[in-house]
Structure 1
Amino acid sequence: MLRTIGRRVATAIPSLIGVIIVTFLLTRVLPGDTASFFAGPAATPQAIAEVRKQLGLDRSLPEQFASYVVNLAKGDLGNSLTTGRPVVTEIAARLPASAELTLLGLLLSLIIAVPLGIVAAVRQGSWIDHTCRIVATAGVSLPVFFTGLIFVYVFYFLLGWSPAPLGRLDVFNSPPPTYTGFYLIDALIVRDFETFRAALSQIALPTITLAVFSLAPIARITRASMLAILAAEFIRTARASGLKSSTIIMTYAFRNAMLPVITTLGMVFSFLLGANVLVEKVFAWPGIGSYAVEALIASDFAPVQGFVLTMAILYVLINLCIDLLYSAIDPRVKVEG
């Protein structure tokens, strides 16, 4: 198992190297002059040149890249010019907020999409099947930021059911003691149910927004996989043997249909990491997505590079977990392959 994990990580190293190179080059060709931005609008050319020298932007691209790689090997992603803090510290502080939102959105979409896809396949052509198609089409068609804005307008502005979209907690509550970085879990650990209720009310709308975005592909893949399995020979044999419908559907059909669903989950999770950037801006969520957007607007290279590298590492870890799950779900799949 350890050898398999090591082999999977080794195959991901070239991809990570490519991400580092591409990210470095893209941040250098983006419009805007970092030195001019931080020197200020009233700065003289001499002052701008001095700032550019302090930032190391007066050196050639190969020299800048070599310095960046050396620092990266030491675990140093640089300092944010806008906050003055190390990028590693900023990402470590903001990553739990993004992870909590992403995982909760994925969990909610699973709770809705998987049963919906199963029932739609079992009752093909029924109103549930048509509902599944409508939900899938709507989820794919609506941009995630538009869905978030609609939810804010309806549930906060019109109905008043949701609190103001101003982060993880309102101004009347303090964050719970940090154990996991997830406010919901940390509040339950210390049995602070008031903070738990406040955190849950704040995360509800962004979670639903991500769930609407992600349940479409999960529901469609679940339905398609179940339809293919239900038409297989061994399912007809199981029915002819007089087994219960629930046993056939859940024990035989769904277990064999899970591999495409698990594959889709990995892709959806990576999509959610990207969608978080927009959702966090709409709901003022203090995650790494909003952090990267603010840095990009300010032409602050180091946070943008750190954000992209973090997303690439998370994507590699997700695919590694999926590979290991295959063998647990279906023994016919060899993890060493």
Structure 2
Amino acid sequence: MPMLIAKRLLGALPNLLGIVLITFLLTRALPGDPAAFFAGPAGTQEAVQQVREKLGLNRSLPEQFWIYVKDLARGDLGNALSTGQPVRQELISRLPASLELVLASLVFAVSIAIPLGIAAARHPNSWIDHACRLVTTAGVSLPTFFTGLLLAYVLYYLLGWAPSPIGRMDPYLTAPAAVTGFYTIDSLIAGDVKLFVASAKQMILPVLTLGIFVLAPLARMTRASMLAVLSADFVRTARASGLSTPTVLVRYALRNALLPVVTTLGMVFSFLLGMSVIVEKVFAWPGVGSFALEALVASDYAPVQGFVLTMAVLYTLLNLVIDLLYVVIDPRVRLAS
């Protein structure tokens, strides 16, 4: 197991270096001049030139890249000109908000998609199978921003079931003391049930928006994988041996159908990281996605580079977790690795 982890981490290093280079070049290709933006509309050419020299934008691209790599090796991601704070500090303070949203959406999607896919595979062409197809088709067809706005209009404006989409916490409440950065967990640690309920309510709309998006591919893959496994000889043998239906479904069928589902789970998690940028903006969620989007509009290079690099590291760690789950689900994978 340690050798597998070491091999995966070493294999990810060239990918991370390539991402650093591509992100650096793409940010420099963005339209607009950050020096002119931060000098202001009334800034003279001399003022713009002074800002450009201060930011190091007057140097050649190889020089800028070399300086960026040296700073990156020291753990320095630069300063966010739009906020005046170090990018690393901004990412550390905002990343828990994004991860709480993404993980809650993933739990919601998995808790519905896998049982729905199993039920649809057990009863093909039934009403539940048709319902599964309808849900998966709607999930992959509706744009995330449209789903978010529609849910806000129906659940908040029309029905009043959800709180106003104004961020992580009601402005009249105080955030819990930071332990994990997850408001729901930190409020439970503090023993404040009222704060936990308030923070959980604020997550309803964004979690539903992201969860519906990733529920569709998970349910579809679970259904397809279970259909293939349920028709296998070893499942028919288990049924003929008199084993109970839950035992056959969970211990024999589901475990053998999980590998493609886990692969899809890793893919949709990466989709969640990307889609959270839009959802955070729609619901005023103060995560890294909205921070990077604001920096992108302002042509602020450092936050955009730091955001992309952070997402790349998270995706690398996710792939490592998926590989380890393969070994847990099917020990034969360990032999192949």
> Which TM bucket (shorter chain)?
over 0.9
Measure the CA separation in 2 of the matches of 1:261 and 1:233.
21
- Look up the equivalent residue of 2:255 and give its one-letter code: R
Structure 1 residue 34 displacement after superposition: 0.4
Structure 1 residue 335 displacement after superposition: 6.6
Aligned 1:266-305 pairs, distance under 5 A? 266-305=266-305
- Look up the equivalent residue of 1:175 and give its one-letter code: A
Q: Kindly indicate whether residue 12 of structure 2 is the aligned counterpart of residue 33 of structure 1.
A: no
Aligned 1:213-292 pairs, distance under 5 A? 213-292=213-292
- Look up the equivalent residue of 2:73 and give its one-letter code: A
Q: Is the 8 A contact 1:221 1:264 kept in 2?
A: yes
Measure the CA separation in 2 of the matches of 1:305 and 1:127.
48
Measure the CA separation in 2 of the matches of 1:268 and 1:312.
15
Deviations 1:24-75 (A, max 9, x none): 0000010011000000111111111111011000000000000000000000
Structure 1 residue 237 displacement after superposition: 1.5
| Matched position secondary structure for 1:319 | helix
Measure the CA separation in 1 of the matches of 2:69 and 2:152.
42
- Look up the equivalent residue of 2:185 and give its one-letter code: I
Structure 1 residue 270 displacement after superposition: 0.5
> How many aligned positions are there?
337
Deviations 1:74-98 (A, max 9, x none): 0000000011100000000000000
Measure the CA separation in 1 of the matches of 2:65 and 2:169.
40
Aligned 1:98-137 pairs, distance under 5 A? 98-137=98-137
Residue in structure 2 matched with residue 57 of structure 1 by the alignment: 57
Identity among equivalent positions (%) equals 62
TM-score under structure 2 length normalisation: 0.99
Larger deviation, residues 232-241 vs 64-73: 232-241
Deviations 1:152-179 (A, max 9, x none): 1111111222211111001111000111
- Look up the equivalent residue of 1:12 and give its one-letter code: A
| Matched position secondary structure for 1:168 | coil
Q: Kindly indicate whether residue 151 of structure 2 is the aligned counterpart of residue 148 of structure 1.
A: no
- Look up the equivalent residue of 2:216 and give its one-letter code: A
Q: Kindly indicate whether residue 161 of structure 2 is the aligned counterpart of residue 161 of structure 1.
A: yes
TM-score under structure 1 length normalisation: 0.99
| Matched position secondary structure for 1:333 | helix
Q: Is the 8 A contact 1:177 1:186 kept in 2?
A: yes
Deviations 1:106-165 (A, max 9, x none): 000001000000000001110000000000000000011110000111111112222111
Structure 1 residue 336 displacement after superposition: 6.6
| Matched position secondary structure for 1:296 | helix
Structure 1 residue 3 displacement after superposition: 2.0
Structure 1 residue 251 displacement after superposition: 1.1
Q: Is the 8 A contact 1:35 1:52 kept in 2?
A: yes
Larger deviation, residues 325-334 vs 90-99: 325-334
| Matched position secondary structure for 2:332 | coil
- Look up the equivalent residue of 1:299 and give its one-letter code: S
Residue in structure 2 matched with residue 329 of structure 1 by the alignment: 329
| Matched position secondary structure for 1:164 | coil
Structure 1: runs of 5 or more not aligned: none
Measure the CA separation in 2 of the matches of 1:100 and 1:245.
36
Measure the CA separation in 1 of the matches of 2:181 and 2:335.
32
- Look up the equivalent residue of 2:48 and give its one-letter code: I
Structure 1 residue 241 displacement after superposition: 1.9
Measure the CA separation in 2 of the matches of 1:163 and 1:238.
49
Measure the CA separation in 2 of the matches of 1:107 and 1:320.
19
- Look up the equivalent residue of 2:306 and give its one-letter code: G
Residue in structure 1 matched with residue 189 of structure 2 by the alignment: 189
Measure the CA separation in 1 of the matches of 2:40 and 2:333.
59
